[in-house]
Structure 1
Amino acid sequence: MTGLTFVDVCSGAGGLALGLEQAGFSPRLLLDIERHACETLKANRPHWNVLEADLLDFDPVDHPEAYDVDLLAAGLPRVKSSATVTRQSSDAEIRLIQATAYLAHAVQPRALVVENVPTLVEEDSFSPIRDFLHKELEHLGYELTWFVLNASDFGVPQDRRQGILVAVKHQWASAFRPPRPTVHEYVSVGEALAPSMRSRGWPDADRWVAQATSVAPTLVGGSKIHGGPDFGPSGTKARWRRMGVYTKSFGNEPPGPDFRWDPSVGDNGLVRITVDQTAILQGFPEDWQFAGGKTAHYRQVGNAAPPAVGEALGRAVVKALRDPAPSNAGYTSSP
């Protein structure tokens, strides 16, 4: 244990919080607006202080445990790529980013981690919100570092690029470095799902595993407004089908002894992966419980930050806060 503490907003199913816990942080407060997400957090970590609330309405004055923490973490809903995004945008995702900056202003953590899509870091259309964050945080004494990570570099069997902002108070900022990959070889879909595919005696399990040698495409949880569980856009579905996976719906359980896998016969010969298996592909422990039905379950999985990435980010922040480098060895970037 590091003895360091954090507050996590827009916590979802707890992927980022779980990773930070594995890095040695202890949570003071976790906040999410979704009932099922809060139930998931409470089911898996009954001792965590979980608040069902809207970040836009959250006032830390009413929750003094949010003050005097080492880290404020935010795995925020994904911003939409748009050439019209501005600092004054009414878009809900942009407003949550702004609310996170205002919360940092109020509670003054030693470090802030924001996780989102890579376009937030890379696209010119998002320069107004990046400029907003620099303006709001730099005068408080934070130095900002923007970078992109891929979850597959941290042992997650998924091609999932994530845009990251880490802001660290000046006296510790020079020691911060973005985390480096923790694996030399990617974990494939077949390797990750082999135990569950074999669990009900499916005779073709090893044959399927042997050809599922790539990482999974990015899982997309979608919004609460649109439909049920979905594999995503057509290009993503095509990648799944090349691995012999059915993409029109998810299965309820792994295939059993009577199923014959034969992609040559079309949909009836493709294997259906389950929502529980997508949680494995997101890097959740197999005993992590998700509240709600299939749609709520998959939405939580697809919208989560992989715990392994959260752990890597947490360890990088721990190193900066515990072992600061000389003040003239700064490392910042400003896209």
Structure 2
Amino acid sequence: MSGLTFVDVCSGAGGLALGLERAGFEPRLLLDEDDDACRTLRANRPHWNVLQADLLDFDPSEYPQSYDVDLLAAGLPRVKSSATVTRRSSDTELRLIEATAYLIHAVQPRALIIENVPTLVDEESFAPIRDFLRKELEHLGYELTWFVLNASAFGVPQDRVLGILAAVKQEWASAFRPPRSTVHEHVSVGEALAPSMRSRGWPDADRWAAQATSVAPTLVGGSKTHGGADFGPSGTKTKWRRMGVYTKSFGNELPGRDFEWDPSLGDDGLVRITVDQTAILQGFPESWEIAGLKTARYRQIGHATPPPVGEALGRAVAEALNGDPAAPAAG
């Protein structure tokens, strides 16, 4: 599965692009409006062609490398829940979905992947945007497949449910299948973070890891306009505290030799997870550098498509595109 190319819009920290790279795709262009995200992409892949620009203003005719690609990938900002989808606060997110569809008109890739919230797949309040995508893409020769994946099924130590649209040109559409789970058992928080917890000689690292046997709750990156790095709503924080994790803020460093983990002591006895460790929980390799200050780094991580999910999606698309095109229907 090599020689396939893609354009990635709203690239963020590069989770989807990294996964596609692992699946054998080569990026022609990566686009994001955020300065920290662009610095993250350039720090990790200096050879990638990264453009800092707003998708709503992007003109592909000025960037010929965006044409004649196999895949357009879009891990778009999450649309709001059904309770707020009609409010002005969701206008930008919906416009970005529309802009992606309009970009298809110009770029005409063989396939499209959009990753977003799971409710986009089947919730009634999102029926208008699904109808819009169907009308825009079907007359261009794409067949649409909507489905939901949980990142934990692909080795990501997190309960993260994703809504996916795969649109494939009719010649290859019959060969496309949504990816299946790649692991037999979920990777737990303790298993994922034990090596980093041990790294500064913390004597309780293995004892803590042995009881952190579930996957992490969904990481929430938050918005640029509200608050800092946060574990999320109260229910999510309760799940973290059951694993002996401090939830009022993220740690600045890993626990050392002198830290005593004892949840019976309250907050003082809980271990603090660092932002770097949340990247591990999102499926990034430890070598992946996230640029920016603490809040900006966590925002990029929390909004990213987990790379193992991106890889699974890429392999599913590659398998379809590398197969024989469907024979034309008899006239």
State the TM-score, normalized to the length of structure 1: 0.95
Shift of residue 265 of structure 1?
1.1
Whole-angstrom CA distance in 2 between matches of 1:74 and 1:327 = 29
Residue deviations 1:68-99, cap 9 Å, x none? 0000000000000125746x997110000000
Residue deviations 1:50-83, cap 9 Å, x none? 0000000000010010000000000000000125
- Does structure 1 retain, via aligned residues, the 8 Å contact 2:32–2:55? yes
- Does structure 2 retain, via aligned residues, the 8 Å contact 1:255–1:272? yes
From the superposition, tell whether residues 84 and 13 of structure 1 become closer, same or farther in structure 2 (CA, over 3 Å): closer
**Which residue of structure 2 aligns with residue 135 of structure 1?**
135
Matched, 1:44 2:32: no
Equivalent residue pairs, number? 328
Residue deviations 1:263-297, cap 9 Å, x none? 01110000000000000000101010011111111
Whole-angstrom CA distance in 1 between matches of 2:89 and 2:126 = 11
**Equivalences for 1:79-90 in 2 at 5 Å?**
79-82=79-82, 85=85
**Which residue of structure 1 aligns with residue 172 of structure 2?**
172
**Which residue of structure 2 aligns with residue 123 of structure 1?**
123
Counterpart AA for 1:144: L
Shift of residue 326 of structure 1?
4.9
**Equivalences for 1:61-140 in 2 at 5 Å?**
61-82=61-82, 85=85, 91-140=91-140
Shift of residue 122 of structure 1?
2.3
**Which residue of structure 2 aligns with residue 55 of structure 1?**
55
Whole-angstrom CA distance in 1 between matches of 2:24 and 2:311 = 9
**Which residue of structure 2 aligns with residue 183 of structure 1?**
183
- Does structure 2 retain, via aligned residues, the 8 Å contact 1:85–1:128? no
Whole-angstrom CA distance in 1 between matches of 2:273 and 2:6 = 35
- Does structure 2 retain, via aligned residues, the 8 Å contact 1:13–1:41? yes
Whole-angstrom CA distance in 1 between matches of 2:85 and 2:196 = 43
**Equivalences for 1:26-37 in 2 at 5 Å?**
26-37=26-37
Whole-angstrom CA distance in 1 between matches of 2:151 and 2:144 = 21
**Which residue of structure 1 aligns with residue 147 of structure 2?**
147
Counterpart AA for 2:113: V
**Equivalences for 1:209-288 in 2 at 5 Å?**
209-288=209-288
Whole-angstrom CA distance in 1 between matches of 2:327 and 2:75 = 29
Whole-angstrom CA distance in 1 between matches of 2:69 and 2:231 = 38
Whole-angstrom CA distance in 1 between matches of 2:101 and 2:41 = 24
**Which residue of structure 2 aligns with residue 7 of structure 1?**
7
- Does structure 1 retain, via aligned residues, the 8 Å contact 2:154–2:183? yes
- Does structure 1 retain, via aligned residues, the 8 Å contact 2:74–2:113? yes
- Aligned-pair identity in percent equals 81
Unaligned runs of 5+ in 2: none
Residue deviations 1:231-285, cap 9 Å, x none? 0011110000000000000001110011100101110000000000000000101
Counterpart AA for 1:28: R
Cα-Cα RMSD: 1.6
- Does structure 1 retain, via aligned residues, the 8 Å contact 2:79–2:90? no
Whole-angstrom CA distance in 2 between matches of 1:308 and 1:206 = 26
Matched, 1:198 2:198: yes
Matched, 1:299 2:286: no
- Does structure 2 retain, via aligned residues, the 8 Å contact 1:174–1:327? no
Counterpart AA for 1:73: A
Whole-angstrom CA distance in 2 between matches of 1:326 and 1:181 = 27
Whole-angstrom CA distance in 2 between matches of 1:90 and 1:269 = 40
- Does structure 2 retain, via aligned residues, the 8 Å contact 1:173–1:324? no
- Does structure 2 retain, via aligned residues, the 8 Å contact 1:6–1:73? yes
- Does structure 1 retain, via aligned residues, the 8 Å contact 2:251–2:273? yes
- Does structure 1 retain, via aligned residues, the 8 Å contact 2:78–2:93? yes
State the TM-score, normalized to the length of structure 2: 0.97
- Does structure 1 retain, via aligned residues, the 8 Å contact 2:290–2:297? yes
Whole-angstrom CA distance in 1 between matches of 2:113 and 2:267 = 42
Counterpart AA for 1:117: V
Whole-angstrom CA distance in 2 between matches of 1:151 and 1:327 = 35
- 3-state SS of paired residue (2:112): strand
After TM superposition, the runs of 4+ consecutive aligned structure 1 residues lying more than 2 A away are 82-86, 324-328
